Each structure stands twice: as structure tokens, then as C-alpha cells.
Structure 1
Amino acid sequence: MIADIVFLNGQFLPLADAKISPLDRGFLFADGVYEVIPVYSRQPFRLDEHLRRLQASLDGIRLPNPYSHAQWQARVREMIGHAPFADAQIYLQVTRGADSKRDHAFPTGVAPTVFMFAGPLVTPGESVRTLGVSAVTAVDNRWLRCDLKTLALLANVLLRQQAVDHGCAETILVRDGFVTEGAASNVFLVKNGVLLAPPKSHLMLPGVTYDVVLELAARHGVPTEVRDILADELPEADELWMTSSTKEVLAIATLDGRPVGHGAAAGKPGPLAERMWQWYQQFKNDVMRTGRDD
């Protein structure tokens, strides 16, 4: 459920009064970008980083940013003020706007459509976190600009549905024999005490939580390698995680019906996943819940 007040094209108004043209290019072509910003105790999580990623996505689809960085900051904070949830997620979307016709070419003289709303931030419960979740693998058949956070998510939707169809929480994507990311998350492996992460490229979304995990690993002295990860390394992993703004750090205990890990620890969240989750919570308590926007 989302908050009753939303933002549309410069105005905060009741959701029931928010109207968008059916000729909007976001509706016709998925011609637009979006961001999801987590909020803890009414403090936005790494707002500047999210807004920089929004700018990169807009640049990638050649859509001028309708607002300055400071204007976005002010509007996001005002949206938080309208939310009835202390912990929330702010969804913002920018499309190329509504033309008077359907034409693939960019329209001229058309204002972009800006939409934003707040919903509750729901993170995995204790039982899910301590047991871990299941995942499946699938061929990454998406386009070649996965680093852009665009509205064209049908491929991700279908890939994520494969996980749902198998009673799993996520689909881990493999392109040309290498792990890229999850359908709606980033992926980390642990092998022999080393944290492994696929490198940022045009084939994966540069996750803000991904960055935090690597920062926390460096801060706490965890050996880390950012490198290409072969799909063949997945069955040999000691631990496997998914990370995102809403999942935070969540261990994958079963992959393609087989337990992750070895020996007595197989099929259970590993010790480094538990430590990373605790470090992440401490980071939230020390930074995000103290009124500072880090």
C-alpha cells in the first residue's frame, strides 16, 4: 500500500487525483527511468548516490533531468514528510512525457512526466533471514544496457517469475558463462573466506547496497575480490548472498534445488552473511537513524 499523497509534475496531491495521459511514452514505450530510495527513521539512505544514479540513467537514454540535484533533494524530503511510515521506500520515475501521437522518435517540445510516491519499507523477517532463501539460475537474456535503471523491466519480470514458479525468492542471471546479478538484486559469493563480487559493467545495475557491502567488507578487513565470476563457481561457493535496498543482505541457502555450502553448514546461511548483516544494521543505527544523510 502506498501513501495517499503522491507527487506528480510539480505538485503533491491525493493519489486519486493523480492523472497521466495514456499517450505518455512511459506507458507506450517504457521510455523513462526510475529510482527506489530506502528511508530509515525518515532519513533517506544515500540520497546523493541514488540521485547520481538517476542522472546517469537519464543521460543514458538522452532525457534531460527536469530538476536540479537540490530540487530533487527537497522534493524527496517533502515526499518523506507526507509518508505515514518512518521506514519507507520512495519510488520516483521520469518519463519522456506525453506526445500527441505514437512515434518512436523523440518528441520535441514535450515536458517530461515526473511521478513519485512513498510505500512502506519491508525488509526480510527474522525467520527468513536466519533460514535463508532459495534461488534458481537462468540465462540473462536482457538488453546490453542493464546499468541503466529504465522502466523496460519485462525481461526482469519474466526472469523473476521463474523464481516464483519454483517457489524461490530470486533468479540469478548468467550471461556467456558468467554471473551478472539477480533479477532484482546484486549477487555476492564467499569462497575460502574471500568475498567475491561481479565487477560493475553495462551488464549489471550498479547497486547502492552493493557499494555499501564492499565498503563494510573493507572496513572490517574481509578479503575481497571484484572480478568476473564463472557460473561454474556457484556450486562451489561456501556462501551466496543477494543484496538490494529492500532485501539488504540476504543469504541464499539453496540454488537450483541444491544446498549452498559444504558439509554440516550446507543449506544454511553462512557466518560471513550473518556478520555482514550485523555490520549493515550497525551502519543503519550509527548513520541512517541519527539524522545524518551519509
Structure 2
Amino acid sequence: MSVAYLNGRFLPLEQAHVSVLDRGFLFADGIYEVAAVIDGHLVDSAAHLARLERSAGEIDIPLPIPPAEIEAVQKNLVARNGLGEGLVYLQLTRGADGTRDFQPSAAIQPTLVMFVQDKPFLDVPAVRTGISVATTPDLRWKRRDIKSVMLLAQAMAKQAAKVSGAQEAWMIEDGFVTEGASSTAFILTDEGIITRPYSHAVLAGCTGAALTALAEESGLKVIRRPFTVIEALAAREAFITSASTLCQSVVRIDGQAIGSGLPGPVAMRLRELYIDFARRTAS
């Protein structure tokens, strides 16, 4: 039986009920985080907690417990559920009022929920075959740097990608790739590794930040600038990063092969470096 955490209590997941008047449900008035677990330990926890604090501050939701206590709860959930490899999901909303109103009451209390998901990602077929991505217009709001639970546009993009036979969507705005529906997008050219600079237009990926630091430490040049789909199609390699995929080669974009059409050596090497980093620094 899976154990979850809800507002100070550990309880069976199926009993972790949230009010229908919760503003996360009614208005998408909330944020979330997803942290990877490898060998029963949290990966890059400090970065995820820092991003959680930032997102909460940007929409003015107070953390109901300090970050150190949040991490302790996450570790407790990992242990209670016997999770060796997978994810810890966290969602923080503004909470529930006695009625539906755009303006929350002064007495409203945040809702904090966490649960785990058993998900293999270290040794899966996609690592050896690579994945396909499909491009789609970026329909999201203008504050994508906030990890909002408002994920309708991403869900629509994922569904469109699935229909076309792809495993991820790359969202396009003004002719440039912003990011994946649930990942950070990278290409490798003769210039170096290219990825979008941080701004309100994209989410600052924790996995991507760690991976680019590892790339630079290994002597690879990282260039933060927008890139087009045309550039991506002509790239030597393409890949994505996220907590749930780590570093994953992209071998086709809109059905067209990238490079050899197989996972590239640089992305595969970066994946190895990241997994080593994750195991060395996991908490």
C-alpha cells in the first residue's frame, strides 16, 4: 500500500483527499516539484527545494513547513514506500476556502501533498534507442519560470506528440524551441552544446543545470541561446534532460533523423556523468 503525506499526516495514498474547493483544483493556484530517487536516495535535492522556494515566493504562497522538514518528509516517504528508483512528487497550493472566489480569504492555509512513484529510468530501452519528439506551438502563459500546476498546454502537447508517434513534444514560439513539454531541450553543433537561456520564457531545469555544469567541467562548451527547429534538424546530436529521464538522446524530430539516427556519444557520456554525480551527491 502506497503511503502519501498530506498537511502534516502520513496516510494511505487512496485516503489522501483534498477538498474540491482547493484553489489548486479550481484555479491551478499552486506549484509542484518532482525529484528523482536513485538507490533509495534523493537526487539534487537542494536544487529542487531552492526552486520550490522561488516558485512559492513568486506567487506568494508561504511554505507551511521549512525546506529542511520538506526534505525529511520526502526521505520518510521514500523509506516508508521502499522506493529504490523513481520519483517523489510534491504539490503546494494556496489551499481551500469555504467557497469559490477569485480572491482568497486572509485565513486560507496552504495545502501540501507529497507521494512517490515507482519509475525505472536508469536502464530502459529508450536509453539505447533514443526518443522522437514532435514540435507544437507553445500555448503557455508568460511566466514559465514558475513551476505551476497549470499544465493543460503541456498535456495537450504530450497528447499531440503521442498521436504522431513521438515520446516528447518540443514547444515552438516565434520560430524558436522554448523547451520540452516536461523537459529541457539541448542540441549539439560544431559551436558546442546549445540550450535556451534562463528567463520567464522557460523553467530553469534542475537536472539540466547540473548536467551543463558537468559538461563544462569535462571541457565541453555550453552556449545559452535560443535555437530553431532547422538548427536542431542539422545538429550532430539532440537530447533532453529532466528528473524523470535524466539525460535522454533525441534521435528524430517530426519524423526526421538527427545525425546518425542513433543516440549520440556526447549525450550518452553526459548521461553517465550525471548518473555518477547523482549517486555521489544523493541525500
Query: Taking structure 1 as the reference length, what is the TM-score of the superposition?
Result: 0.92
Superposition deviation, residue 216 in structure 1: 1.0
Structure 2 residue aligned with 1:173 = 171
Superposition deviation, residue 16 in structure 1: 2.9
Q: What does 1:29-68 correspond to in 2, within 5 Å? A: 29-68=27-66
Superposition deviation, residue 192 in structure 1: 1.6
Task: Give SS of 1:168's match.
Answer: coil
Task: Give SS of 1:108's match.
Answer: coil
Structure 1 residue aligned with 2:237 = 239
**Structure 2: tracts of 5 or more residues without a match:** none
Change in 2 beyond 3 A, CA 1:132/1:193 = farther
Query: Taking structure 2 as the reference length, what is the TM-score of the superposition?
Result: 0.95
Distance (whole Å) between structure 1 residues aligned to residue 153 and residue 27 of structure 2: 14
Superposition deviation, residue 5 in structure 1: 1.1
Report the residue type matching 2:72 in the other structure: A
Distance (whole Å) between structure 2 residues aligned to residue 59 and residue 126 of structure 1: 37
Task: Give SS of 2:133's match.
Answer: strand
Task: Give SS of 1:74's match.
Answer: helix
Change in 2 beyond 3 A, CA 1:104/1:243 = same
Q: Residue 85 in 1 paired to residue 79 in 2?
A: no
Structure 2 residue aligned with 1:283 = 277
Superposition deviation, residue 124 in structure 1: 6.2
Report the residue type matching 1:287 in the other structure: T
Structure 1 residue aligned with 2:265 = 271
Native 8 Å contact 2:44 2:281 kept in 1: no
Native 8 Å contact 1:38 1:121 kept in 2: no
How many residues are matched?
A: 283
* Residue deviations 1:171-215 (CA, integer Å, cap 9, x gap): 111111221100110010000261111111111111111011101
Distance (whole Å) between structure 1 residues aligned to residue 190 and residue 263 of structure 2: 15
Task: Give SS of 1:280's match.
Answer: helix
Structure 2 residue aligned with 1:19 = 17
Q: What does 1:134-283 correspond to in 2, within 5 Å? A: 134-192=132-190, 194-261=192-259, 265=260, 267-283=261-277
* Residue deviations 1:12-48 (CA, integer Å, cap 9, x gap): 1122322221111111111111111111122111111
* Residue deviations 1:83-107 (CA, integer Å, cap 9, x gap): 2221231111111111111111122
Report the residue type matching 1:286 in the other structure: R
Change in 2 beyond 3 A, CA 1:80/1:57 = same
Distance (whole Å) between structure 1 residues aligned to residue 233 and residue 2 of structure 2: 46
Task: Give SS of 2:11's match.
Answer: strand
Change in 2 beyond 3 A, CA 1:285/1:63 = closer
Report the residue type matching 2:265 in the other structure: P
Distance (whole Å) between structure 2 residues aligned to residue 18 and residue 127 of structure 1: 34
Task: Give SS of 1:217's match.
Answer: helix
* Residue deviations 1:228-285 (CA, integer Å, cap 9, x gap): 2233312211111011111111111111111112xxx2x1111211211222222234
Distance (whole Å) between structure 1 residues aligned to residue 72 and residue 273 of structure 2: 30
Task: Give SS of 1:216's match.
Answer: helix
Equivalent pairs: percent with the same residue? 35
Superposition deviation, residue 125 in structure 1: 4.0
Superposition deviation, residue 168 in structure 1: 0.6
Change in 2 beyond 3 A, CA 1:103/1:232 = same
